[in-house]
């Protein structure tokens, strides 16, 4: 009898050991995910994408050791809506967050909640901008609204607190602290979300004089006259020429309009004495030279372009350094092998193309989102993905990578099959819809883009535009009324209708 009891106990013990081992293996198989995300970082300002204006060695490193997505797009080119599409894997009309100023319904399905259910520890630090507090995160510290570049405030489960320093560096510190405290009992999912390089492009102390001795090349379309396309383009309010505040945007005190000056003084008021001193030293002499030069007309636009783009690139340099610190920390902690590292941004941005700053339009510079990803053993180094991908594809990819089920309501496609040698069946076109009528003079519009063409409709003015990206990559002309494009126009209208039906878009042309 005794012998038999021992045998049963031994068998039970073996069974328990097996379960423990199996569970440990499962954990080992689940990759950590470090999702580094910035705000308004255009592909034109990333050297892996062929930038003519700057170098981003650390973001490039992710692409070199993994994959670079050459045709990745947002669903709706503005901060909050892009973030809501990422969290839900759905277009704006399905997740309810169509415009900045909306409030994200935190009770809906989001991928971080589903990652928690399959054993992930989740965290988000930095910009959030969804109007309601994060849900589905074990740890979170996020900016109220847009956040501040200097001594940023963070909302936390324990209340609000300001942390001295430069926002990119402070958010990186929070991310590194989280990574360093992870035990190997659970996989983790970390969102490190920078404010930079969002308007008003305030560089950190280390970067204030970077690019002082160079002239940044101008885009070919800096003096676009908006002819040969929809009339609404010419009614924008996002021109480097006419719509930048001298003080708030260009850092020249004295010319400013009062509304923006008040905000700028509050930003400067967040600096320490040393930071303010460095700021004044960096801009003081340059601004004095500018005042004396009395520039007019195109020369003034050129000066504004230089000031704007240099400040933007100074903010990008801080982001790239933050990425470098995170990669170095993963190497040091031995986490690089079993971690997916991603860099992306919520949409692109105009860096003087079409005479613009800001985003919103369906045109390439703001429609594109950077996306580079490293996953040793799963993604071959130097992979280039040409298929048309979108921010709604992130959620199903994260879920598949974590071994979680992808809910049917998700509209995106997991990126996973794109890493296999054999090309999978994939979408032929992406759907875009911008709802925030009025911001920067950009009217609501929607459209479809395939590998070569883009069809856009502007409901308010009832105008169609058809872009041929092969013939006219800078999108300076619409071919919608050209008889030679009649067949293409019909095909693109059919693609637009199909996608609206597929995604459940209710709209009447
Ligand atoms: Ca943004």
Distance, CA 16 to ligand 1 centroid (Å)? 50
Task: Measure 303 CA to ligand 1 centroid, in angstroms.
Answer: 25
Same domain, 146 and 159: yes
Asked, for residue 267, whether it belongs to a domain, the answer is: yes
pLDDT band at 26 (very low <50, low <70, confident <90, very high): very low
- 77 alpha carbon – ligand 1 mean position (Å): 8
Question: Is a pLDDT exceeding 60 seen at residue 19?
Answer: no
pLDDT band at 446 (very low <50, low <70, confident <90, very high): very high
79 CA to middle of ligand 1, Å? Answer: 4
Residue at 136 is within a domain: yes
Strand 453-458 and strand 463-468: the pairing is: antiparallel
Structure tokens at 359: 């985003």
pLDDT given at position 259: 84
Same domain, 166 and 285: no
- State the Rg of the chain over Cα: 24
Residue 4 CA to ligand 1 center (angstroms) comes to 68
pLDDT for 255 equals 72
- Cβ 161 vs Cβ 154: under 8 Å: yes
The answer on 228 and 143 residing in a single domain is no
The answer to whether residues 221 and 115 belong to one domain is: no
**Domain edge (last residue) among 288, 305, 322:** 305
Where a domain ends, among 406, 421, 436?
421
Q: How far is the CA of 337 from the centre of ligand 1 (A)?
A: 31
State the pLDDT at residue 257. Answer: 75
Among 396, 421, 446, the domain boundary falls at: 421
Please give the residue range of the domain that contains residue 297: 205-305
Q: Which domain CATH number covers 386?
A: 3.40.720.10
The rounded Å distance from CA 436 to ligand 1 centre is 14
Q: How far is the CA of 7 from the centre of ligand 1 (A)?
A: 64
> What pLDDT sits at residue 430?
98
340: CA distance to ligand 1 center in Å?
23
Please tell me the distance between residue 428's alpha carbon and the centre of ligand 1 in angstroms.
26
Domain shared by 260 and 179, yes or no: no
Tens of pLDDT, residue by residue over 459-483, are 999 999 999 999 999 999 999 999 9
Cα–ligand 1 centroid distance for 41 (angstroms): 8
Tell me how far the alpha carbon of residue 247 lies from the centroid of ligand 1, in angstroms.
Answer: 21
Domain co-membership, 165 together with 62: yes
Q: What is the pLDDT of residues 148-185, one digit of tens each?
A: 999 999 999 999 999 999 999 999 999 999 999 999 89
CA of 52 to the centre of ligand 1 (A): 22
Tell me how far the alpha carbon of residue 178 lies from the centroid of ligand 1, in angstroms: 25
Locate all alpha helices (DSSP H) within 118-211, ordered by sequence.
167-180
Is the same domain home to 189 and 77? yes
Which H or E run contains 61? helix 57-65
Residue 197 in this model has a pLDDT that exceeds 80: yes
Shared domain for 93 and 180, answered yes or no, is yes
Is-contact 351 51, C-beta < 8 A?
Answer: no
Helices 167-180 & 297-332 angle (0-180, nearest 10): 10
Q: 319 and 417 share a domain?
A: yes
- Cα 347 to ligand 1 centre (Å): 6
**Is the confidence at residue 28, as pLDDT, over 70?**
no
Give the predicted TM-score (pTM) of the model. 0.94
> Would you call 337 exposed, middle or buried from its count of C-beta atoms within 10 A (0-12, 13-18, 19+)?
exposed
Is 508 part of any domain? no
Which stretches within 359-485 are classed as H helix?
A: 364-367, 394-401
Contact in structure between 401 and 31 (CB atoms under 8 Å): yes
pLDDT tens for each residue of 215-247: 999 999 999 999 999 999 999 999 999 999 999
| Å from CA of 346 to ligand 1 middle | 5
**Whether 163 and 216 share a structural domain:** no
Residues 386 and 324 placed together within one structural domain of the fold: yes
Residues 67 and 132 placed together within one structural domain of the fold? yes
- Any idea which residue has 């509304």 for tokens? 259
Find the 251 Cα to ligand 1 centroid distance in Å: 21
Whether the predicted pLDDT of 127 surpasses 70 = yes
DSSP string computed for 328-359: HHHHHTT-STTEEEEEEESS---SSGGGB-S-
pLDDT band at residue 24 using 50, 70 and 90 as cut-offs: very low
How many angstroms does the Cα of residue 10 sit away from the middle of ligand 1? 59
The rounded distance, in Å, linking the Cα atoms of 492 and 448 is: 7
Q: Please, what is the average pLDDT of the chain?
A: 94
pLDDT score of 258: 82
Instruction: Using a pLDDT cut of 90, give the percent of the chain over it.
Output: 90
Which whole number is the average pLDDT over 50-70?
Answer: 98
Question: What does the DSSP 8-state code read for residue 402?
Answer: T
Count of structural domains, the chain? 2
Kindly state whether residue 10 falls inside one of the protein's structural domains. Answer: no
SS3 5: helix
Query: How far, in Å, is the centroid of ligand 1 from the Cα of 409?
Result: 25
């Amino acid at each position: 009898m005794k012998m038999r009891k021992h045998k049963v106990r031994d068998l039970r013990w073996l069974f328990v050991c097996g379960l423990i081992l199996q569970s440990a293996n499962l954990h080992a198989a689940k990759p950590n995910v470090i999702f580094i995300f910035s705000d308004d970082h255009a592909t034109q300002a990333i050297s892996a994408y062929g930038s003519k204006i700057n170098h981003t060695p650390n973001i490039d490193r992710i692409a070199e050791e993994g994959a670079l997505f050459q045709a990745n797009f947002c669903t709706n080119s503005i901060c909050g809506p892009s973030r809501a599409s990422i969290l839900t894997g759905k277009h704006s009309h399905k997740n309810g967050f169509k415009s900045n100023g909306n409030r994200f319904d935190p009770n809906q399905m989001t991928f971080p909640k589903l990652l928690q259910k399959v054993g992930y520890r989740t965290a988000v630090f930095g910009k959030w901008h969804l109007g309601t507090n994060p849900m589905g995160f074990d740890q979170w510290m996020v900016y109220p609204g847009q956040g501040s570049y200097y001594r940023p405030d963070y909302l936390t489960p324990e209340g609000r607190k300001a942390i001295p320093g430069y926002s990119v560096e402070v958010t990186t510190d929070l991310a590194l602290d989280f990574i360093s405290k992870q035990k190997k009992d659970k996989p983790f999912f970390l969102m490190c979300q920078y404010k930079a390089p969002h308007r008003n492009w305030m560089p950190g102390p280390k970067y204030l004089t970077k690019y002082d001795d160079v002239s940044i090349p101008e885009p070919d379309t800096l003096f676009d006259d908006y002819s040969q396309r929809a009339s609404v383009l010419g009614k924008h309010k996002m021109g480097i020429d006419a719509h930048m505040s001298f003080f708030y945007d260009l850092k020249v005190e004295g010319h400013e309009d009062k509304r923006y000056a008040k905000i700028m003084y509050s930003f400067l008021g967040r600096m320490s004495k040393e930071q303010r001193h460095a700021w004044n030293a960096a801009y003081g002499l340059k601004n004095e030279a500018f005042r004396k030069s009395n520039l007019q007309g195109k020369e003034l636009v050129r000066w504004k372009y230089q000031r704007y783009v240099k400040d933007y690139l100074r903010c990008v340099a801080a982001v790239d350094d933050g990425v470098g610190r995170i990669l170095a920390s993963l190497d040091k902690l031995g986490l690089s092998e079993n971690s997916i590292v991603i860099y992306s941004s919520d949409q692109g941005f105009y860096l003087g193309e079409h005479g613009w700053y800001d985003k919103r339009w369906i045109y390439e510079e703001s429609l594109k989102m950077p996306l580079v990803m490293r996953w040793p053993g799963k993604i071959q180094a130097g992979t280039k993905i040409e298929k048309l991908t979108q921010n709604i594809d992130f959620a199903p990819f994260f879920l598949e990578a974590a071994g979680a089920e992808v809910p049917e309501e998700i509209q995106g496609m997991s990126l996973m099959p794109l890493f296999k040698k054999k090309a999978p069946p994939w979408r032929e076109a992406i759907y875009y819809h911008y709802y925030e009528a009025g911001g920067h003079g950009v009217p609501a519009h929607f459209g479809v883009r395939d590998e070569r063409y883009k069809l856009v409709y502007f409901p308010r003015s009832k105008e169609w535009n058809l872009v041929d990206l092969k013939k006219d990559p800078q999108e300076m002309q619409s071919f919608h009324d050209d008889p030679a494009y009649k067949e293409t126009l019909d095909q693109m209208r059919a693609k637009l209708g199909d996608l609206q039906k597929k995604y459940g878009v209710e709209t009447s042309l």
